[in-house]
Structure 1
Amino acid sequence: MAPVVNIGQLHQHVGSSVTIEGWLYNKRSSGKIHFLQVRDGTGLVQCVVVKSAVTPEIFERSGLLTQESSCRVSGLVRQDDRAPGGYELDVEGIEIVQIAQEYPITHKEHGVDFLMDHRHLWLRVPRQRAIMRVRAEVQRAIFDFLDNRGFTRVDPPILTPSSCEDTTELFQTKYFDEEAYLTQSGQMYMEAAAMSLGRVYSFGPCFRAEKSKTRRHLIEFWMVEPEMAYVDHDENLRIQEQLVSHVVEHVLHHCEAELHTLGRDVEKLAKVPGSFPRMSYDDAIAWLRKNGFDIEWGDDFGAPHETALAGQYDQPLFIERYPTKIKAFYMQPDPLRPEVVLCADMLAPEGYGEIVGGSQRIADYELLNTRFDEHHLPRDTYAWYLDLRRYGSVPHSGFGLGLERTIAWICGLEHIREAIAFPRTLYRLYP
């Protein structure tokens, strides 16, 4: 057998015989020739089986292959700019690993519910494969950025005794004789880790029991949450824009084929890296009111507001200094205007909404203690968090980047459910 290579490596083997191991994506025949489109996870290649060039057994074998049958195909690599990927395989041999039964996802339009019921198979199509490859590269870019800038990864617990933000509904479970919750954020634990290691980040799943079914929401999603000692609000924003710029540049460099498969306008992404525009909450409210939105100072923004605000720019937009009363209890008030806090939401362009949220955290024990009273937080479950302000408290900041929202924006997806392999939504727990 010729040496086994990936389809993505075929450009290195032009003029040589190789073997690829994969699955039949599609097939067409014209009498004495079979055209087999074979995929292997790294790409798609057309394998040409000419009846006069192979044995009768090989030609017959190629005709038996059904959609998604697994096979090993050997042949000579030939460059052809007209072919998918720019290369073809002149088939010399075929080994059938398994003949697939009638495949439920055919090359025609299917409804979303049908595709989601068959998500375990839908992942095989080129579009979904491209999204998963982009997802992997987004993660790689995030880790590279943080690891190369002195951050240490720390893994917070998924089971917690309390909420990070008291307004969000949580999934409750029994923890032996106690009540526990699935985490909605690792932020508080990252604050503790930052007091040990300086700059830290976590990466893992989060769970929010919001009964929302918009295109921006998942019940289970993944977040990257950096936390940094001795970092103020302004530096926090600079790090966020540097991270997102790096991620976009990385994807543009490493995922050209995938973005092409997705039909993504890369010119829009190319405009992203750099310094992002900033707008105060006050100015955002004034702009919205001027442009016909019925909204008052002190109201939170919904999807239409975020879309309109971000639509003015080609880059993500920071909205900063929200009213204290609509933000989490741990956010540091602006020393000059205690009615607003030193926080910001990063809104992606093209209507994708908030992808990053962060703030400078309260460092003063007495102020945080007062916030506990104002928000009626149980001191028994939060005592350890108050300890962080008793013993060596310092100014510190952090943020959370929603992985799926970021991927949906970069890929240009209509719905966030395609940004994760097996989405959990309001009405979907299967497969």
Structure 2
Amino acid sequence: MGAHSPKAGIRKEKPGRSRAKKWADPAPLLSTPCQEGILQSLPLPSPCLAQVQPLTGTECGQGFPPGLVPLPPAQAGRRPPRQAKGTWMGGKEATMSSWSRERNQRTMFLLLLSVASAQGVPPDPTACLVFQSVNGTSIACKPPAEVPRRLPADTIHLAVEFFNFTRLPAGLLRGAPRLQELHLSSNRLHNLSAELLQPVPGLKVLDLTRNALSRLPPGLFRASAALHTLVLKENQLRALDASGLHGLTALRHLDLSGNQLRTLPAGLLANVPNLRVLDLSDNQLEALPSGFLRGPLCLERLHLEGNRLRALAEDLLAPQADLRYLFLSDNKLAKVAPDAFRGLRRLDMLDLSNNSLTSVPKGLWASLGRPTQNLQYGFDLSRNPWVCDGHLHDLFRWLVDNKEKMFFQNDTRCAGPEAFKGQTLLEVAESR
């Protein structure tokens, strides 16, 4: 497939590894009508932005907390900063883009810095940046700024990143009951208080990327019924309790990638009925428990790449009839059950690259359907030690029917027998 193909835009996240980028379908966090002069976005994803107005005691109902510096109003006759695509927003509805794992973790800090720079405001390195929109107040703190001891009551977005905190300042979230997004990435947090999220029951996004968490306290999410995006990637989690996600009834996106998980409890996902994206990539999983994906959840995207999985059981994926993207690359898969893909009639992408597959059971590919029915974004079987003998006859026929959807055809080669060693699977398939 050429560079214009869908996979070309979502592949190769790390050099030297056969991985697909992990992205989620857009799902707005907020949607508000924008008045004239309000921007939809700046160079990075942002909430619907108003021209910056100073915060005063009369506007906020209270004085501005120490350590926070509001940006001044736009100069008369000066246009607001240009959007990334060079268009202007006025009188239209705008939305806040959903959090995406591929976007820069410093989104809010850079966004506010862009606003300040565009208006000729020299940033104060000792203070957090604050921005007031039609939705509420957004605050971004980065060293050497001091984290404020109290927040404006209308704070909806808080980013406290790159501070190397081992623990959060006491009472950080008190007085901000409207908080919807909390970004705490790139610190050194070892532990979280079980009471951390109690003051913010409306929280929708929690990002704890790149910390040092080895466990989650019991009951952490008991008051987090509104949370739909939870990012715990690149921590040191070794195990999770079966009840670790209790309370997250609205959760749609769970990212546990880049941890040290070796096993997972069978009931971990029993109480997250709205989960659509599950990322378990780059852990140390050798197997998943029987029935792990059973229950009310309806996954659309499952990331298991970069683990140590050796076999794909027939009952693992069967409950997930709505699954569209399945990433299994960079494991040690040597065995796939004959019915492993049975029922995955909506599957759009399958990545089995860089495993230990020499053959697959008869009938495995037939369960995926004909070319026009699914796999519209393609499949990848490259970098496996395929033995191109009679055991692959079923696969050969399927490849001929689906060759236009096959990625990295030149890297999908026979390891044996000697007569076919080095030839591509497609060449051998078409010669039969």
Larger relative contact order (CA 8 Å, sep ≥ 6): 1
More helix by share: 1
**Greater C-alpha radius of gyration:** 1
TM-score (norm 1): 0.24
Select the structure that is richer in strand.
1
TM-score by length of 2: 0.23
